[in-house]
Structure 1
Amino acid sequence: MNKIINGDSLKVLKKLEDESVDLVCTDPPYGYSFMNRDWDKAVPALEIWQECLRVLKPGGFCFVMSAPRSDVQSRMMVRLEDAGFNIGFTPIYWTYATGFPKASNVGKAVDKKLGKQRKVVGKYKHPRSIEKGVEDKSWGKKSMKITLEGGAYGDDKRTLEEIQQRTAPTSDEAKELEGSYVGYQPKPAVEVVLVAMKPITEKTTLEQAMKNGKGITWLDDCRIPYNKESDDPRIGKNYSHNASADYKPGQTKNNNKGEIQTLHNEDGRFAANLIVQDDVLNDGVKRSKGKHTDSGSASGGIWQESTGKPAGRTYGDEGSFSRFYDLDSWWKSQIHKLPESVQKTFPFMIVAKASKAEKNKGLEHLPKKKSSSMPGRRNAEDMSNSKI
């Protein structure tokens, strides 16, 4: 517990006892061949997943980060299944707004291939620019505009505004293909978390849970908290917080309009297979729902006419669509569980500088090097003896 083992995953796993691990949560190489690195030429070998299966307790879960690209994702899933995992679960889709498109512009590539100079038709501020002239508190310095080629920079050398040239195709061939990109490489906005489980050894999942607490997931710990007190569906314009405080989740109460108000779980929204970061589902429209009400059947059918009103229950809250799946909101609700010393400096962590012994650990077999002075540099003793 609370121990980090640094080493080759396969070698370390082989040293662990059978059925000694409660959970495998990993972000392995995706098999992208990222930057032509050998370690990322393929997804992890079958032998590694077999070792993960061996050390997991029966019913233990394995959460595996994966790229959304079909070929590498399918290979990862097949490897897990071949190792003996049960993969009959929905993945978790994690969407975010920080991805950046890397597709090659065909029109520009054609002009370059033909040796044609594209015509500059304007300029634009790149989306990754930082708003110019705004104080950046994380750096503790106020920006100063120093105009350089390609952008304006602050006194801390951090780019504040990046200006790009807008060009138009020159050759007829480039004009035909302008607006197209090589292959299909959209902006990355989602990461997939594959979910697998070691098969249970008991007759039912319930019996497995009763025996070793596995085969289950603690989804109540993953509930998305409500944005604010007024986001709680029990608190509407017809009820005050005090008036509804005695009511527990699952109870109902008639309001003065004759509607039935059903109280939800006060710990938050039930976890979905989608998690959202950076408010990526915000389309600029602030939506407000009424109290959590049940208006009865409203869509009509073969037995009755439609009432023309929305059917089913709605939650009495407001905000963008992101609020239903907000990972950032969940994380804020968990900060209080961190040690008090960490909370004071969060999101920054104060870590002591590594000692010399720690830096050299594992390097004992290497030959010792003598420090040498750089050309043109004088050591401290020479400096102290020099006359001014």
Structure 2
Amino acid sequence: MSDKTTLAFPIAEPAPTGSVDLRHGDCLEVLRSLDDNSVDSVTTDPPYGLSNTKPAQVADVLAAWVTGDTEAVPAKKGGFMGADWDSFVPPPAVWAECLRVLKPGGHMAVFAGARTQDLMGLAIRLAGFEIRDTLGWIQGAGFPKSMDVSKAIDKAAGAEREVVGTRKKLDSYGQQAGNNVYGGGPNHDGLQAITIPASDAARQWSGWGTALKPAIEPIILARKPLDGTVAANVLAHGVGGLNIDGCRVSTDEKLQGSTVRDDMRGGAYGSGAKPNPGDIADYAQNPAGRFPANVLLDEHAAKEMDEQSGMSVSRANTKSDERGAENSHIFASASLGRRDQSNSHNDSGGASRFFPVFKYQAKAPKKERPVIVRENGTKIAHPTVKPLALMSWLVTLITPEGGTTLDPFAGTGTTLQAALDKGFNAIGVEQDEDYIQLIGERLGWSAA
């Protein structure tokens, strides 16, 4: 492929609504070719920078960033699964280009690693973004990467541990997952050896490890500074807000209305105006669900949450409640919110019903995890693929109807597919030619 910044594949069949503009090349170079204020949102899963970067190296990079060298990164050294592309987080220069091409008030959703989100967030801040929130994508499929301290002590001393039994190696959702945490690796029968400490020092540190089971991936929600007020910005540029109703938490139960008459809400903080009790019946029912939260779950995390929380009941406000609120002027106060019909639900269930829940699989279905087999029999695949439903939710949250979202780290094109499925346009940038082919495979494109 000679020209690394041109569209590589045409669509085999026209998409029903949105379109994809795929660029092959270094994201910083490609971003610099895009027009100012030309996209409505940025939705991306960039490198997390999971290499063992030393504190002194981090300090050197931060010093470079704040003194103007916004492209500075440490020397490339393997990150996730030893990949050099994951050696460090994208520097401020990348996010500054995202800021430039975003319309004023446009939002950006950026996945980050739990132990490097501070660097990702700082790079985004230094580029000029406002950090609006951090969402938590909680999932139960991560394997603990923890060293057994007791075993390490015996190994260092050359002491041989006695095998006292075996057990089945559990999957990533089991409490005993991870070879390093619970003893020796699996034997030839697929079982795990159970050993006991061989030295006094190892016995003292039995049960100690070095890491927790990973279960959360932060998603940094940032916004380009507004052009005036929110109201003025959305009218002038078509962005600046979040699509709350489009991302509500679905429920089978009947919910009270989510929209309340302006004269009864009294604006942002409430005017104290007394409602007419007869108007309560005029509230529209909102079948879309609950107000979205900044915690997102997979079904395994949701199940665990429900088991711990048990069943609870959310009762709708009664007319007597509303009349009592009328007398105290509480009903009109949005700052308290408890009497507001938008926060009043008549349902029951576990605590997970308050949060968006997305299906997660340790191995995504074939249609969500494209694979290409080379002529020599080897395969092209990507090691980290986010659930399509999760990316669809994020794109919907920050992209206006008919808008364009940008993904400067397209990977296998999950964001691009999510945008197409939701009727948005998308611009994707990917440096790896193998992944360009995976995107074509995912979207059903054929080589030009």
CA shift in 2, pair 1:248/1:276, >3 Å:
closer
Q: Which has the higher helix share?
A: 2
Letter of the 1:122 partner, please give it: G
Structure 1 segment 44-123 matched on structure 2, within 5 A: 44-69=90-115, 72-87=116-131, 89-123=132-166
Letter of the 1:319 partner, please give it: G
Secondary structure at the residue paired with 1:24?
A: strand
Correspondent of 1:218 among 240, 243, 260: 243
State how far apart, in whole Å, the 2-side matches of 1:47 and 1:7 are. Answer: 16
- How high is the sequence identity, in percent, across the aligned residues? 34
Which whole-Å deviations, capped at 9, do the CAs of 1:243-300 have from their partners, x for residues lacking one?
A: xxxx997599x9xxxxx9x876321111111111124143436514254235859xxx
Q: 1:319 Cα shift?
A: 3.1
Q: 1:181 Cα shift?
A: 1.4
Letter of the 2:164 partner, please give it: V
- 1:293 matched to 2:317? The reply is yes
Secondary structure at the residue paired with 1:322?
A: helix
Structure 2: unaligned runs, 5 residues or longer: 1-18, 52-78, 175-185, 262-274, 323-327, 329-337, 360-387, 394-417, 423-439
Structure 1 segment 31-46 matched on structure 2, within 5 A: 31-33=49-51, 34=79, 35-46=81-92
Aligned-residue RMSD, C-alpha: 3.9
CA shift in 2, pair 1:267/1:81, >3 Å:
same
Structure 1: unaligned runs, 5 residues or longer: 132-147, 152-161, 235-246, 255-259, 298-302, 304-310, 340-348, 362-388
The residue that corresponds to 1:209 in the other structure is: 234
- 1:7 matched to 2:25? The reply is yes
CA shift in 2, pair 1:42/1:225, >3 Å:
same
Bigger radius of gyration: 1
CA shift in 2, pair 1:101/1:264, >3 Å:
farther
The residue that corresponds to 2:356 in the other structure is: 326
CA contact (8 A) 1:91 1:273 kept: yes
State how far apart, in whole Å, the 2-side matches of 1:164 and 1:314 are. Answer: 51
Structure 1 segment 361-372 matched on structure 2, within 5 A: none
CA shift in 2, pair 1:130/1:105, >3 Å:
closer
The residue that corresponds to 1:197 in the other structure is: 223
Which whole-Å deviations, capped at 9, do the CAs of 1:105-146 have from their partners, x for residues lacking one?
A: 010111112222212222222221899xxxxxxxxxxxxxxx
TM-score, scaled to structure 1 = 0.63
CA shift in 2, pair 1:55/1:324, >3 Å:
same
State how far apart, in whole Å, the 2-side matches of 1:58 and 1:354 are. Answer: 33
Structure with the larger RCO, 1 or 2 (CA within 8 Å, 6+ apart): 2
CA shift in 2, pair 1:40/1:129, >3 Å:
closer
**What is the aligned length?**
283
CA contact (8 A) 1:250 1:265 kept: no
State how far apart, in whole Å, the 1-side matches of 2:200 and 2:114 are. Answer: 36
The residue that corresponds to 1:308 in the other structure is: none
The residue that corresponds to 1:376 in the other structure is: none
CA contact (8 A) 1:93 1:191 kept: yes
State how far apart, in whole Å, the 2-side matches of 1:17 and 1:11 are. Answer: 13
The residue that corresponds to 2:294 in the other structure is: 273
The residue that corresponds to 2:198 in the other structure is: 170
Secondary structure at the residue paired with 1:267?
A: coil
Which whole-Å deviations, capped at 9, do the CAs of 1:299-346 have from their partners, x for residues lacking one?
A: xxxx9xxxxxxx9776333332222113328949999x959xxxxxxx
